[in-house]
Every structure is written in C-alpha cells, then in structure tokens.
Amino acid sequence: MTMIVGMNLCEYVLVASDRREVLLVNDKVDHVISDSVNKIIDWNYGYITGSGYVSILNELKKSLVNMEVETVDQIIDKATEIVETFSGNFHDLKDKSNWMLTFVANTEEGRKPRVGIIEAKNPHGIRALNDMTSAIWAKLPSLDEQISNLNAKLKPIDYFNEPKDSILYHVSLLKELFEYGEKHDETVCSQFDYCIQLSDGSMFSNINK
C-alpha cells in the first residue's frame, strides 16, 4: 500500500506520495524493499500516481508513458481496459486500488487545475476534488477527521505575500501528515514526493529523475 494526499488550492493543485515499497506476505509486511521509490509519473498534461496493488496500478502508469494522451477520457478508457483484464476473482484487489491525477479543465470560469480520482472498482468515470478541499489515502486512525483537519488548514494563495510561501506552507502540512502516517502504518514512510500543476498547465515537482 502507500499514502497519497491531494489538495485543490484553486490556483494550483498539489499531489504527494510517500516513497516506501514493501513486500507483503499474507497481507502483512515482510520487509521494506526501499524508501526511495518514485510513485508519481507525468503524462502529457499532468501527473498521475496510485494507491493499492502494483499489478493494476503499474499497468496504467506504463501505458501512459507510451501513449500520446490528449484528454482525460483516454486515461479513463485505458484504466477501464486494464481493470477489465482482471477476472472476477480480483474484487478485493480492485476495491483497494485507485489512481489520482492532475490535469487542467476548461470550465465556465476559465481553465482550472484539477485533482481527479479514478477508482479501479468503477473506472468508467472520474471524480474531481472541489476547490479548497483535500483527499488522503492511507490506513490511518480517524481518517475522516484527518481529512477535515487538513481541509481546515488549507489557505488560498492570496493569503500569502508570495506564491512560493503558499507552496512552502502546504508542503509543511504534507510533512506533518507523512510523519504521522509513518507512525501508524508500516507500509508508509515520512519521505515523500510531491507535484504541482498550475491553471496554465505548468508543472513542476521535487522528484529526482
């Protein structure tokens, strides 16, 4: 498993993932393989990461690297195709696997950055985070409370003197969350990567390639 956090901050979106990879034996951690795994990749118009079982998640990631993707619908179609290749015996696998991606959408108010969520159990559509809200995927105690607390701490970009101050502030919230995640889930480490996308489509991350 893994820990993923997404934030829609109106002027930009931010997605983060921890760096731990573990070997599970009978759904229990046998050992940590690495704490330096990059779980976020870029596609033509954004970033994508996933939480759940590697067998499903990596199929979509590998497909996107080799595809000329121009619309989110293409990602949905590919996710659906991949999920449907797994037999009915994989219900548990599908129920626990999800993708989170960033993109820019054309809206009545102009171009807006979005955090989209695709669930393997229902890959035919995409759900977007509302403005100034967040999502946390992890095995944490009181997860709904953690999400509510994070939402209450999100601040619009005009609250800060400089845009970079907004980024530093929200990354500091991520640091607290991943440190908390490491304490409560042995599949999660406090080290994390994050990516940002702006309304004009600009993208940057802290990921070393």
Could you tell me the CATH superfamily of domain 4-205? Answer: Aminohydrolase, N-terminal nucleophile (Ntn) domain (3.60.20.10)
- Cα 172 to Cα 168: distance, rounded to the nearest angstrom: 6
Q: Percent of the chain at pLDDT above 90?
A: 50
Q: Are 135 and 5 in contact (CB under 8 A)?
A: yes
Residue 182 has pLDDT above 90, yes or no: yes
Q: Once rounded to an integer, what is the mean pLDDT over residues 86-105? A: 75
The residue written with tokens 């990631």 in the block is: 61
Closest of 9, 40, 37, 10 to residue 23, by C-alpha = 37
* Neighbour tally for 127: CB within 10 Å: 12
Predicted confidence at residue 54, as pLDDT, reads: 72
The residue written with tokens 């619908």 in the block is: 73
Q: How confident is the model at residue 28 (pLDDT cuts 50, 70, 90)?
A: confident
Q: In what order do the strands lie in the sheet with 110-119?
A: 41-43, 46-51, 98-107, 110-119, 122-128
The residue written with tokens 């095995």 in the block is: 139
pLDDT digit string, tens, across residues 30-82:
787 888 888 998 887 899 998 877 777 778 877 877 787 777 888 888 888 88
